[in-house]
Amino acid sequence: MATEAEPRTDEKQPTDIVPDPSRTDRAKTAFAAQRGHAGARIKDWLATTDLDDAEVIQLADQRKQAKHDDKIAQQQRIVAEAHGRFAHAKAQAEAGETRGGNLAALGGRVAAEESKLAALQSTVVMPATEREANSVRHGKKAGRAALLAAGSLATLPAASEAIEQAAHGQPLLLAALGAAAGYGWYLVSRPFVAGQPSPDAPSMPVELAAPVDLTKQEAQAGGREFNAPPPPALTVDELDAALRAIGEVRGDEQLQILAIPQRDSDGNTTVVFDLPPRTTVAELKKKLPKLAGALGRDVSMVDIEKAGTEVRTSLWMTDKNAFADTRPSPLLKKPTQLDAWKDGVPVGWNKRGITIRLAINNQSFVIAGTSRSGKGVGASNLVVGASFDPRINLRIVAGKQNAEWNPYAKTGVASTYFKPDPARLLALLHALLADKDRRERALDELGKSKLVAPIIDKIGGLEVVVIDELATYTRPGKPLREEIIEALIELSAVALGAGIILVLITQYPEVDVIPQALSANLGAKWAMRVENATQSNAILGAGQAGAGRDASKFDPPRPGFGWLVNPFAGVTDLARSFDLDEDERGEITMLLEKAAKIREAAGRLAGQWDDPIEQHLLNATGLSSAAGGPKRDGMPGRNVLNHTPEQRMQLEACRGALIAMNDLGRDVAQLDEMAQIIGGSMTSTRLGELLRAAGAGGVVKVVIEGRGRVNGYQRADIADALNLLEGN
């Protein structure tokens, strides 16, 4: 029996869909919360409240420094262009294409532009002012507003009110908000978490995510490492505590930090601050060793400079002692001609690692320190550097009989060189005083009151007089002491303007050795390690040890390390000389050979030019010390430079014959065997002619073992002839 089929359960039945009012309300509430978060975030971002005052000041300082660097770069381009025009005009004039009348004007422009550049480079960039910091903040606001407009976030309803409030009273911001569109709704609509500003709109409960572990992990293959920036080497609290520990900040006094401590890319830290008005930067400098100790540093790791006012201080600090390791002279890497008058010569480096160049122009020098303090190396850097300027005539007076200064004679770099001889030193000083008069007459003819760079060649170059071991001549009881000191004082006082400069070196820095009247005229002073504060003051000046510059306090002492005072270069600092060795590495000879080639090309090697000083010495003593004398060893003799070519051949023949006897191991020899040892084109006949012409006479009967009585020469006869030729 058929039955009625029951409906299938899988058929879809029509139903009415009714919206869930609770879900709609929740969506509206969530969106309202998101709008509130977005508005608060945008308002906070536009107001730049995420940038604290320290960051703004830092940005302002960087902007100010960048502008200053741009000015220097622009001026450097102008100087280069001026040099190019001058060089082109000079080349045209030398080629006869022009008369060269414009050279003076172009040269004047070069000098003027270089002066502007020097002024810019010496200008200290002051910390940003409050007005400049506000300008940076307003600029940041304008930039963010422009970014907001470009991203079209301004069309969001939640952002409009925030933008209007943030731009209130700032037309620049309003002008930037021309168009708006969506800008990453999710990023700005997230709820605020701990540590962020609270939004004005209602917030929703949020479950905070687990904290992120920023600990540096082992890098995965092909992955990246996270390197957090290093912390400052100095905090404001540490600085305040250190200054209070040494009594520069007291009680309720406060430091005004103008540039917060920041570790530079090279690991150093600089902070600019104002001291309390009760004290000054000069007073703080006197306490530099104590301040360094309070900061946990060596005095060579801390530096203080005045940054404008008497209380505004720029403090620099490093974590590594710049003087711990030696450094080679930069001339070893690049031995090129120098302009010692304008650019100076490299002698060492300061605590910031910057090369110190001492100009050789309007100041004399004293370099002093106890035995093995490195004063000789410091002096060598100065004198070797001076040899690379062919306009400088080097007069070297050694203080010992050793070969320390011989390389200057061997290479022909030293215009004058002799070993201890008080009478000859006095004659040299008198010659220089006479030359001072000649130079002053030349200045009068040129219409100048003192020597300036353009006329150095016209007046005969610069005279640099190096006196090593000054105490050899100026300690009480030394021969001609009073006359020598009197001449040195006169030269140091009146000869600088004529281009005569002293370099005095001593291991006895005492007032008996360097009288006050002499020391006062030595502008550049380099004090290596000494025994006590009295000796330090004898070099650097009275009261300098009390001002914190005491060369007896070096701990540990290092060769070539000392206080360098050079007022014309604005240097009063610790410095260490470059490592320059002759005995083991032969570096001084190598550099002097390079300098000799420069001088030879300029016609300024000893013997290439008429030297009035050596001519005076020759007239006064009958002996020459040009290039160290006949043997170039510091022993004056007959003027070898004026020997005839035939006399020079006679000299070489005598020397060769004596060397041959040394090789043969006896004091007699025959002509043929000596000629064979001498070699070259020398024959026994020619050797006999030269020996007879030199005064050694003809051959005589001599006894040689195994040969009996033969014709030959005796050593004594040849040696006497050589001494006669050399003027000994």
pLDDT, tens digit, 9 for 90 and up, residues 4-47: 444 444 444 444 445 555 666 766 676 666 666 666 666 666 56
pLDDT score recorded for residue 219: 39
- Per-residue pLDDT reduced to its tens digit, 393-440: 999 999 899 999 999 999 999 999 999 999 999 999 999 999 999 999
Between residues 402 and 189, which one has the greater pLDDT?
A: 402
Range in 156-170, 295-309, 509-523, 611-625 with the lowest mean pLDDT: 156-170
- Per-residue pLDDT reduced to its tens digit, 221-255: 444 444 444 455 688 889 999 999 999 999 999 88
* 73, 153 Cβ separation under 8 angstroms: no
Homologous superfamily in CATH for domain 330-602: P-loop containing nucleotide triphosphate hydrolases (3.40.50.300)
pLDDT score recorded for residue 628: 93
Average pLDDT score over the chain: 80
Question: Scanning the structure block, which residue is given the tokens 């100790």?
Answer: 293
Q: What is the CATH number that goes with domain 643-726?
A: 1.10.10
One-letter identity of residue 700 = V
* E strands in 398-459: 414-418
Q: What is the CATH number that goes with domain 236-317?
A: 3.30.1360
Structure tokens at 187: 């990023």
Between residues 390 and 96, which one has the greater pLDDT?
A: 390
* Cα angle 401-405-406, degrees, rounded to a multiple of 5: 85
What residues does each domain of the chain span? 31-200, 236-317, 330-602, 643-726
What backbone phi and psi angles, to 5 degrees, belong to 436?
-60, -45
* Helix (H/G/I), strand (E/B), else coil: 233: coil
Range in 33-47, 137-151, 204-218, 407-421 with the lowest mean pLDDT: 204-218
What backbone phi and psi angles, to 5 degrees, belong to 492?
-65, -25
Cα–Cα separations (whole angstroms), residue 110 to 44, 77, 100: 53, 12, 16
> Is the predicted pLDDT of residue 614 greater than 70, yes or no?
yes
> Is the predicted pLDDT of residue 144 greater than 80, yes or no?
no
> Is the predicted pLDDT of residue 161 greater than 60, yes or no?
no
Q: What is the DSSP string of 590-646?
A: HHHHHHHHHHHHHT-STTSS--HHHHHHHHHHS-B-GGGTTTTSS--BS-GGG--HH
Whose CA is closest to 505, among 552, 465, 477? 465
Whose CA is closest to 330, among 355, 307, 362, 295? 355
Q: What is the DSSP string of 516-528?
A: HHHHTT--EEEE-
* 428, 620 Cβ separation under 8 angstroms: no
- Per-residue pLDDT reduced to its tens digit, 341-386: 999 999 999 988 889 999 998 899 999 999 889 999 999 999 999 9
> Is the predicted pLDDT of residue 261 greater than 60, yes or no?
yes
Residues sharing a CB contact under 8 Å with residue 481, sequence separation 6 or more, in sequence order: 473, 474, 475
Whose CA is closest to 36, among 180, 194, 167, 156? 156
* 187, 45 Cβ separation under 8 angstroms: no
Question: Scanning the structure block, which residue is given the tokens 């293959």?
Answer: 221
pLDDT score recorded for residue 259: 77
pLDDT score recorded for residue 96: 65
Structure tokens at 79: 């100087």
Structure tokens at 226: 């996270």
pLDDT score recorded for residue 74: 85
* 525, 539 Cβ separation under 8 angstroms: yes
* C-beta neighbour count of 77 within 10 angstroms: 10
The dihedral sign for the CA sequence 383, 385, 388, 389: negative
* Helix (H/G/I), strand (E/B), else coil: 119: helix
Whose CA is closest to 43, among 165, 181, 144, 223? 165
* Cα angle 210-215-217, degrees, rounded to a multiple of 5: 115
* 467, 500 Cβ separation under 8 angstroms: no
Between residues 120 and 363, which one has the greater pLDDT?
A: 363
Distance CA 169, CA 175 (A): 12
Between residues 172 and 364, which one has the greater pLDDT?
A: 364
Distance CA 332, CA 587 (A): 8
Residues sharing a CB contact under 8 Å with residue 261, sequence separation 6 or more, in sequence order: 232, 233, 234, 235, 236, 239, 269, 270, 271
